């Protein structure tokens, strides 16, 4: 089951996107609808809300007066926390019921207005954010009956556009008309969501077909941060440390458009626990069984020091490699030292970039490209150690 978190600021067009995804075949779980459902007449949620806030939040017919409740909690942090303590567990339980009721091969879209504010991104395979300029959103909200000041006040209580972009795997621009937005939704569905779901079902990770060295992309840092968040959510205490490594972790340096993440475990046997492997596979990171070794250096030739486990990502929109290594093993330390050396030594960055560009041009396959780089890695190891001693580096 592929899960997609869908969010966007009020007036952004998120509901339009949700309807389009439902029409395409997704199971949409609407957080707002569930929030209304758990406070219906006769339910435990409404009873507890009235106990806390009194009859002033009830309409004449005994139902919840949502405007009155909003007025009570809007500028009262404690009141808002009390309301959330009542509603959030009920909403979470009902949400899980809806997800569990979906077919195993479904794409489940969770429509959540406060996904970014609640730091929920790590729960999903993908996060899709619908975005529109603030003035456009205000105009839409005024068209729905809000005053301009009310619209701006509601927007001010939500996450910023920058925070949403940081959380987003996909940003859908809704500054144009609805037809343009729907075209963008269809493209994301067909080009990313559906192939991702197919890869997930097949346990197949997405590969870069050829070793192309790309200019540095500042988005690599945010993409890696989202991957780390997802892996942390899935693995918890089983992975005490998770790091962004490889070329994409070095600001300003060109590299293959592949994000490398290093997962540290206390004992490599933990990575072979079936529950560990299954958790990563369900999260979109299937195990690649025939890739279990880093290349030893001449200084440390014992192969047992370089054993690891490897997982790839099913996401066709973000190629990623997950290297699971024992904390403080040779492979763990090498990956961190290599990253930090390149970050701290401009000449080393330039040299490595030149090596990568030359080898990518000379080799058509990723395997041949990787093998051709190994002699340089071996030659660079003493220089890395010298830099580590000079700077006082430690992992």
CB within 8 A of 273, min separation 6: which ones?
238
Q: What is the pLDDT of residue 187?
A: 98
Examine the pLDDT at 395 and tell me if it is beyond 80.
Answer: no
Whole-angstrom CA distances from 55 to 50, 67, 85 are 6, 13, 19
Q: What is the pLDDT of residue 296?
A: 85
pLDDT digits (tens, 9 = 90+) for 196-224: 999 999 999 998 777 788 999 999 999 99
Q: Please state the rounded mean pLDDT for residues 20-33.
A: 96
Q: What is the pLDDT of residue 363?
A: 85
User: pLDDT over 90 for what percent of the chain?
Assistant: 77
pLDDT digits (tens, 9 = 90+) for 270-320: 999 999 999 999 999 999 998 898 888 888 888 888 999 999 999 999 999
Q: Where are the domains of the chain?
A: 2-202, 213-391
Q: What is the pLDDT of residue 345?
A: 95
| Three-class SS state of 200 | helix
Core vs surface per residue 376-388: b (16+ CB within 10 A) or e: ebeebbeebeebb
| Three-class SS state of 214 | strand
Question: Which residue has tokens 């303590």?
Answer: 85
Q: Are 356 and 377 in contact (CB under 8 A)?
A: no
The strand pairing partners of 129, in sequence order, are 7, 171
Task: Choose between 154 and 26: higher pLDDT.
Answer: 26
Question: Residue 209 and residue 212: Cα distance in Å, rounded?
Answer: 9
Pick the CATH number of 213-391 from 3.40.50.300, 3.40.50.170, 3.55.10.10, 3.30.460.10: 3.30.460.10
Q: Are 24 and 2 in contact (CB under 8 A)?
A: no
Rg, Å, the chain Cα set? 25
Structure tokens at 377: 């890695």
Q: Are 205 and 366 in contact (CB under 8 A)?
A: no
Task: Choose between 281 and 148: higher pLDDT.
Answer: 281
The average confidence (pLDDT) of the chain is 93
Question: Which residue has tokens 């929920």?
Answer: 120
Q: Which of 103, 121, 127 is nearest to 26 (CA)?
A: 103
Domain 2-202 matches domain 213-391 at the CATH topology level: no
Q: What is the pLDDT of residue 72?
A: 87
Q: What is the pLDDT of residue 74?
A: 78
pLDDT digits (tens, 9 = 90+) for 365-380: 888 888 888 889 888 9
Q: What is the pLDDT of residue 313?
A: 97
Q: Which CATH architecture has domain 2-202?
A: 3-Layer(aba) Sandwich (3.40)
**DSSP letter at 103?**
-
Q: Which of 222, 249, 244, 225 is nearest to 165 (CA)?
A: 222
Question: Residue 62 and residue 294: Cα distance in Å, rounded?
Answer: 67
Question: Residue 316 and residue 122: Cα distance in Å, rounded?
Answer: 18
Q: What is the pLDDT of residue 119?
A: 94
373 is an annotated ligand-binding site residue? no
Lowest mean pLDDT, pick from 111-125, 148-162, 221-235, 314-328: 148-162
**DSSP letter at 148?**
H
Structure tokens at 296: 């030893």
pLDDT confidence of 157, banded at 50, 70, 90? confident
Examine the pLDDT at 4 and tell me if it is beyond 80.
Answer: yes
12 is an annotated ligand-binding site residue? yes
| Phi and psi, residue 266, nearest 5° | -70, -35
pLDDT digits (tens, 9 = 90+) for 29-86: 999 999 999 999 999 999 999 999 999 999 999 999 998 998 888 778 899 999 999 9
Question: Residue 161 and residue 361: Cα distance in Å, rounded?
Answer: 39
Is beta strand 170-173 parallel, antiparallel or unpaired with respect to 27-30?
A: unpaired
pTM reported for the whole predicted model: 0.90
Examine the pLDDT at 8 and tell me if it is beyond 80.
Answer: yes
pLDDT digits (tens, 9 = 90+) for 168-195: 999 999 999 999 999 999 999 999 999 9
Question: Residue 55 and residue 32: Cα distance in Å, rounded?
Answer: 23
| Phi and psi, residue 205, nearest 5° | -95, 155
136 is an annotated ligand-binding site residue? no
Question: Residue 304 and residue 330: Cα distance in Å, rounded?
Answer: 9
Beta-carbon-side half-sphere exposure of residue 18 (alpha carbons within 13 Å) = 21
CB within 8 A of 297, min separation 6: which ones?
334, 377, 378, 381
User: pLDDT over 70 for what percent of the chain?
Assistant: 100
Rounding to the nearest 10 degrees, give the CA dihedral for residues 65, 71, 76, 80: 30
Q: What is the pLDDT of residue 2?
A: 98
pLDDT confidence of 259, banded at 50, 70, 90? very high
């Amino acid at each position: 089951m592929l899960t997609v978190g869908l969010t966007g600021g009020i007036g952004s067009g998120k509901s339009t996107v949700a309807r389009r995804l439902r029409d395409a075949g997704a199971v949409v779980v609407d957080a707002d609808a569930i929030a209304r459902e758990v406070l219906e007449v006769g339910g435990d949620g409404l009873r507890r809300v009235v106990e806390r806030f009194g009859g002033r939040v009830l309409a004449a017919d005994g139902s919840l007066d949502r405007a009155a409740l909003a007025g009570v909690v809007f500028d009262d942090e404690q009141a808002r926390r009390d309301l959330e303590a009542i509603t959030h567990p009920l909403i979470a339980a009902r949400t899980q019921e809806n997800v569990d009721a979906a077919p195993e091969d479904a794409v489940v879209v969770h429509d959540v207005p406060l996904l970014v504010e609640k730091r929920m991104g790590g729960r999903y395979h993908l996060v899709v954010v619908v975005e529109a300029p603030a003035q456009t959103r205000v105009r839409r909200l005024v068209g729905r009956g809000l005053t301009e000041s009310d619209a701006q006040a509601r927007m001010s209580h939500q996450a910023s556009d920058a925070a949403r972009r940081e959380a987003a795997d996909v940003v859908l621009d809704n500054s144009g008309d609805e037809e343009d937005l729907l075209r963008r939704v269809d493209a994301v569905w067909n080009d990313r969501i559906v192939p991702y779901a197919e890869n997930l079902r097949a346990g197949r990770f997405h590969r870069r077909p050829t070793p192309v060295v790309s200019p540095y992309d500042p988005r690599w840092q945010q993409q890696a941060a989202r991957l780390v968040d997802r892996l942390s959510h899935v693995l918890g205490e089983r992975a005490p440390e998770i790091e962004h490594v490889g070329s994409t972790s070095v600001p300003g340096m060109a590299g293959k458009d592949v994000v490398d993440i290093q997962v540290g475990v206390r004992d490599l046997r933990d990575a072979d626990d079936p529950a560990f492997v299954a958790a990563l596979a369900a999260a979109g990171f299937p195990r690649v069984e025939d890739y279990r070794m880093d290349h030893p250096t001449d200084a440390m030739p014992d192969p047992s020091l370089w054993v690891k486990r490897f997982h790839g990502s099913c996401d066709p929109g973000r190629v990623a490699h997950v290297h699971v290594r024992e904390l403080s093993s040779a492979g763990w330390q090498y990956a961190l030292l290599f990253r930090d050396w390149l970050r701290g030594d401009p000449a080393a960055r330039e040299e490595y970039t030149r090596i990568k560009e030359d080898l990518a041009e000379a080799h058509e396959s990723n395997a041949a490209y990787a093998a051709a780089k190994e002699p340089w890695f071996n030659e660079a190891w003493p220089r890395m150690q010298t830099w580590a001693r000079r700077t006082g580096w430690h992992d």
